[in-house]
Amino acid sequence: MSTLQNREAKVGPLFRFKNARVSLNELILLDYEPDRLHHDLAEHAGRLPSLFRQMPILINLEQLPDDVALPSLEQLLGICRENALNPVGIRGNSRYDSALIAELGLADFGSGGREKTAAPAESEPVEAVAPAEPESEPAQAEPESAEVPHATGGQTRLITAPVRSGQQIYAAGGDLIVLSSVGAGAEVMADGNIHIYGPLRGRAMAGVKGNSEARIFCQSLEAELVSIAGYFKTSEDLMSDHWKQPVQAWLSGTKLDTAPL
């Protein structure tokens, strides 16, 4: 049978699209000093090398003051890539040309709905409003934590409050124990094991400095991502394995496995 006949015999789609629901980290620029940015990113990558291996990121410019001079976009991308980051898009852009963004292979993620708003003019009276009673702890309050001795000589970090969206908790040199939940958009990281005594809805990364013996334990697996020593699974993969069940995760060689607790 000829090659053409073989192709005709295999009629069917060549591809399909699927919503992967992959979450991206954002590099939120609060100021810009090129040498200092390069140094600080290198220092951060040195602490968490397994997470900085071509990690895809969004460059977020929304909180950068208008009076801060920006470099060329090529220079900014170069600083990121020299520190093992892989920029895939820009959020909050108002100063780079959109054609240049596209030419450099980046996506424009818009403003994210957090544009700066002008303060009311001094001449206009502003009605005083009594602050509402908080329902619970402020959403961005740092969770209460403590450190206890760890068997391997490091410290186990104990978090007693929920870890909320946008918060990042890191246990250096030991295990991390969260006695509550980890919300969507939150990150918990540890050089050792991670124990979560509630739902895990955000990202959990154990053994971030290469400890392949580390494990992750949670009472309900609803994670955006779990990672051990740089090997990871996203929610798309995790949904087929013990979703919303008490689970432990560990490495078998280079494969991340999960099993019910």
Q: pLDDT per residue over 150-174, tens digit each?
A: 444 468 999 999 999 888 899 988 9
Rounded to an integer, what distance in angstroms lies between the CA atom of residue 115 and that of residue 261? 45
* Amino acid 13: pLDDT: 82
- Confidence check: pLDDT of 257 > 70: yes
Asked whether residue 1 carries a pLDDT value surpassing 80, the answer given is no
- 2 domain residue, yes or no: no
pLDDT of amino acid 152: 43
Judge whether 171 and 156 are in contact, CB under 8 Å. Answer: yes
pLDDT at 2: 58
Domain end marker among 62, 87, 108: 108
In terms of domains, do 150 and 249 share one? yes
Q: Is pLDDT larger for residue 5 or for residue 127?
A: 5
122 domain-assigned: no
> Buried (b) or exposed (e) across 43-60, using 16+ Cβ within 10 A?
eebeebebbbeebebbbb
Enumerate residues 6+ apart whose C-beta is below 8 A from 141: 161
Please report whether residue 8 resides in a domain. no
Q: Are 85 and 154 part of one and the same domain?
A: no
Which has more confidence, 71 or 144?
A: 71
Question: Does the pLDDT of residue 74 top 80, yes or no?
Answer: yes
Tokens describing residue 156: 């186990």
pLDDT over 70 percentage in the chain: 74
Type of residue numbered 110 = G
What is the average pLDDT across 20-30? 72
Same domain for 250 and 165: yes
Task: Tell me the CATH number at 233.
Answer: 2.160.20.70
Same-domain pairing of 90 and 169: no
Domain presence at residue 239: yes
Boundary (domain end) residue, out of 52, 87, 108:
108
Mark whether 101 and 149 lie in a shared domain. no
- Domain-embedded: residue 97: yes
Domain match, 95 and 164 both: no
CA 64/CA 108 separation, integer angstroms: 17
Q: For position 249, what pLDDT does the model report?
A: 93
Please determine, for residue 90, whether its predicted confidence score (pLDDT) is greater than 80: yes
State the residue for tokens 């939150």. Answer: 186
Q: What pLDDT, on the 0 to 100 scale, is given for residue 49?
A: 66
CA distance 59 to 76: 9
Residue 80 in contact with residue 73, Cβ under 8 Å? no
Residue 42 lies in a domain: yes
Greater confidence, 203 or 110?
203
Reported confidence tier of residue 247, pLDDT bands at 50, 70, 90 = very high
User: For residues 93 and 90, what is the distance between their CA atoms, to the nearest angstrom?
Assistant: 6
Q: Are residues 256 and 149 in the same domain?
A: yes
Rounded to the nearest 5 degrees, what angle is found at the Cα of 44, between the Cα atoms of 40 and 47? 145
CB-based burial label for 114 (10 Å; 0-12, 13-18, 19+): exposed
Q: Is 125 part of a structural domain of the chain?
A: no
165 plus 224 within the same structural domain: yes
Q: Measure the CA–CA gap between 167 and 186, rounded to whole angstroms.
A: 5
Report percent pLDDT > 90 for the chain.
25
Residue 38's SS3 state is helix
The region that residue 242 occupies, defined by phi over 0 for left and psi between -120 and 50 for alpha, beta otherwise, is left
Domain limits for position 89: 25-108
CB proximity list for 172: less than 8 A, separation 6 or greater: 47, 154, 155, 191
Tell me: pLDDT of 194 over 90.
yes
Same domain, 91 and 189: no
Residue after which a domain boundary falls, among 91, 108, 125: 108
CATH number of the CATH domain containing 104: 3.30.70.260
Q: How confident is the model at residue 198 (pLDDT cuts 50, 70, 90)?
A: very high
What is the strand order of the sheet 176-178 is part of?
145-149, 155-159, 176-178, 194-200, 216-221, 247-252, 255-260
- Average pLDDT (141-149) is 51
Q: What is the pLDDT of residue 119?
A: 37
Reported confidence tier of residue 146, pLDDT bands at 50, 70, 90: low
Residues 58 and 161 in one domain: no
SS3 102: helix
Do both 226 and 152 map to the same domain? yes
Average pLDDT across the chain, whole number = 78
Per-residue pLDDT band for 19 (boundaries 50, 70, 90) equals low
Total domain count, the chain: 2
The answer to whether residue 5 is domain-embedded is: no
Residues 73 and 149 in one domain: no
If you count them, how many residues does the chain have? 261
Q: Is the pLDDT of residue 96 over 90?
A: no
